[in-house]
Amino acid sequence: MIRLSPGDAARIRRAAEAAWPEECCGLLVGHAEGDAVVVDEVAESLNLSASPGDSFEIDMRLRLRLHRELRGTGREIVGHYHSHPGGPPHPSERDRLQAWEPELVWLIVPVADGRAGEAAAFRLAPDGTAFQPVPIVMLA
């Protein structure tokens, strides 16, 4: 399960609409509670992919900076998000090929005609072969 505040969810939707027709991407910061992750910060990244219309690449410098800032705070990078312009909120074949961290939650936002739709979340199975759906719960 991934728990997300309405404000952070809205921020991700706005980023997805602003990036359309390209993919947006960013990191989700928070903490783990057993199997669940609680997101308390959304860190927007540049999409550094050479083909941003159908793929994403998070800025490694952002990731390293967050990693340094979060050290010792009890908070960590718990996942990332990206958008699918004109596609469903399911991991693409390309997503599967570039997934390698089973501990991170993937949040995917569909965007149709510049409007963000209902996001879905996934996590790579421990053996790395497939994505499994992760329920999204909105924090009150």
Residue 70 or 136 with smaller CB distance to Zn ion: 136
- Secondary structure of 37-59 as H, E, C letters: EEEEEEEEECECCCCCCCCCCEC
CA atoms within 13 A on the CB side of 115: 2
Residue 48 or 70 with smaller CB distance to Zn ion: 48
| Residue 63 to residue 88: CA distance in whole angstroms | 26
| Residue 37 to residue 3: CA distance in whole angstroms | 6
How far apart are CB 89 and Zn ion at their closest, in Å? 9
Of 137, 26, 25, 21, the C-alpha closest to 87 is: 21
CA 93 distance to own-chain centroid: 16
Binding of Zn ion by 22 (CB under 5 A): no
Binders of Zn ion among 98-137, rule CB under 5 A?
none
Q: Report how many residues bind Zn ion under the rule CB under 5 A.
A: 2
How far apart are CB 85 and Zn ion at their closest, in Å? 10
CA 60 distance to own-chain centroid: 14
How far apart are CB 58 and Zn ion at their closest, in Å? 12
Instruction: Spell out, one character per residue from 81 to 100, where the chain touches Zn ion: x when CB under 5 A holds, - when not.
Output: -----------x--x-----
- Residue with smallest beta-carbon separation from Zn ion: 95
How far apart are CB 13 and Zn ion at their closest, in Å? 16
How far apart are CB 95 and Zn ion at their closest, in Å? 4
Task: List interacting residues with Zn ion (CB under 5 A).
Answer: 92, 95
